[in-house]
Amino acid sequence: MFNRITKHKDKLISNVLPQFEKKSVIMKKIAIFIVLVSVLYSCGSNDQGELVGVKTKSKWYSMKPYGMSLIPGGSFTMGKQSEDVAGAFNAPTRTVTVRPFYMDETEVTNSEYKEFVHWVRDSIVRTKLAILADEMNGDNADDKGGILEDYQFKVLDTADMSPYQKYMMDNYGSYGDVNSPTMGRALNWDENLVWATGDFPDVYYAEIMDTMYVNLDNSFDGRRLLDTDKLQYKYYWLDRDDAARTSGNRKDFIKSETVKVYPDTTVWVKDFNYSYNDPMHQDYFFHEAYNDYPVVGIAWNQAKAFCSWRTKKKNDYLKSKKNPSSVPYFRLPTEAEWEYAARGGLQYAQYPWGGPYTTTDRGCFLANFKPSRGDYAVDGALYTMEAKSYNMNDYGLYNMAGNVSEWTNTAFNEGSYLIGSTMNPNVEDRKNKRKVIRGGSWKDVAFFLEVSTRDYEYADSARSYIGFRTVQDHLGTNLNGK
């Protein structure tokens, strides 16, 4: 009996097993086919002639810049919606729409602007050191030894050059920047600069540093002071608006700017007569105690130069990555963008916090300004306050009223509200040297703190009460936070 059962079992297994193995093989073939099909479609090599669009290496997404808030695009009623006590009548109400953008949470601080100044200073010194090293070492400039060897240009070994770099060097003698005094050659930023005169490594280094100081006739107390007039930043930009509206060669619309970048610290004295503000003149930009305070003494052109440098700084970093990309330009806000951001999403508001009062129900001031004649300190500040002080508005922006007035990119025109577009309005007249400033400052009365109040200053003027903040375009649609 046992043998019959065993034989029956073996027969059953012998009949079932081949069928199971056959199905297993079929399933494996199906799985392999599916994998092959998915690979082919993912590579775009078997799209069956359909329109599938350009393949990209990775999915793009918008990254919020550090220290900035996203201002969602939308429409708002721009202009005076309360009594125009000054009787200017240059801001009639109208509905306008702006695109989304990023905006600095605070005014640009002394510390942030000082980074720009130091970069310009160090670039000039390193360029001079590298050029002198080339001249003094002659044909041996590529060697490790020689004069100022630690500050020579970085030299790429021919074996390390890409075909493009080889081509550029053979045909242009440059890696691409033929307008640069370095001809596109890389400076050595790895070696620290020596600023203490007693630690200069050799006389050639001292010779270069001597060109950066004011001459001995203008020195005192035995100190060598940096000649800030030599700290100049040169940059190029394309006038896209003019190029789009007129015809001509591209080079006709490429503009160059050379700007002295050091703030005018004398504004703390020149802006006031019969007033003792020497400590602010001496220490406000220089001393670390004021690092987090808004930079002042900045003319409109200097603010524009800072925007160019900030764009370059970010793009230089991105170029060093495996898949390099670029970012939209940092720039000054338009007048409409500034007012829209200042309102913080509150329609018909008088101030960034709403209004109509400048204090809380407990009598605490909501901004840094001049509440009454001669009483600058009643709001808790004599001059400026830290850039991140008082309460932020609903867009996360600090001091959109008071502290310092802020440059915009818009030229001041009494009738600009009547002639400007209702979509991203900006009347930009390059011949008009009057530029709109907004927000009011520590020395202004409450009227200038209103989000709709317009004021202006000449582009080449620097003041102790005018600073700036930057914006960057947001790519894509983000209306009212949606």
Q: How far apart are CA 455 and CA 192, in angstroms?
A: 45
Burial 191-201 (b: 16+ CB within 10 A, else e): eeeeeeeeebe
Q: How far apart are CA 316 and CA 473, in angstroms?
A: 19
Q: Which residue has the tokens 């050799």?
A: 202
Q: Is the dihedral of CA 234, 238, 241, 243 positive or negative?
A: positive
Separation in Å, CA 316 to CA 45, 216, 429, 475 = 35, 38, 31, 20
pLDDT number for residue 21: 53
**Residue 268, amino acid:** W
Q: For the chain, what is the largest distance between any 2 Cα atoms, rounded to a whole number of angstroms?
A: 126
Residues 197-246: tens digit of each pLDDT: 889 999 999 999 999 999 888 888 778 889 999 999 999 999 888 888 88
**Residue 325, amino acid:** S
Asked if 212 and 126 touch (Cβ cutoff 8 Å), the reply is no
Task: Kindly tell me the burial class for residue 4, based on how many C-beta atoms sit within 10 Å of its own C-beta (0-12, 13-18, 19 or more).
Answer: exposed
pLDDT number for residue 178: 57
Task: Tell which residue, 308, 306, 333, 342, has the closest CA to residue 409.
Answer: 333
pLDDT number for residue 169: 74
Q: How far apart are CA 284 and CA 150, in angstroms?
A: 35
Residues 253-271: tens digit of each pLDDT: 999 999 999 999 999 999 9
pLDDT number for residue 29: 57
Asked if 67 and 109 touch (Cβ cutoff 8 Å), the reply is no
CA atoms within 13 A on the CB side of 336: 26
pLDDT number for residue 410: 95
Q: How far apart are CA 385 and CA 399, in angstroms?
A: 9
Task: Tell which residue, 482, 73, 464, has the closest CA to residue 294.
Answer: 464
- The secondary structure of residue 406, as a DSSP letter, is E
Q: How far apart are CA 136 and CA 123, in angstroms?
A: 20
**∠154-133-194 over CA atoms, to 5°?**
85
User: In 3-state terms, what secondary structure has residue 237?
Assistant: strand
pLDDT band at 144 (very low <50, low <70, confident <90, very high): low
Please name the residue ranges forming H helices in 184-266: 203-210, 240-245
For strands 330-331 and 471-473, give the pairing. Answer: antiparallel
Mean pLDDT of the chain: 85
DSSP string over 295-327: P-S--HHHHHHHHHHHHHHHHHHHHTSSS----
Rounded to two decimals, the pTM is 0.86
Q: Which residue has the tokens 């979509």?
A: 423
Indicate if the pLDDT at residue 482 is higher than 80. no
Q: How far apart are CA 342 and CA 321, in angstroms?
A: 36
**24-28, 69-73, 280-284, range with the lowest pLDDT:** 24-28
Residues 279-333: tens digit of each pLDDT: 999 999 999 999 999 999 999 999 999 999 999 999 988 887 777 777 889 999 9
**∠314-327-258 over CA atoms, to 5°?**
60
Separation in Å, CA 336 to CA 137, 343, 425 = 56, 11, 6
Strands (E), 224-286: 232-238, 254-260
Instruction: Provide the Cα torsion 41, 47, 51, 57; round to 10°.
Output: 30
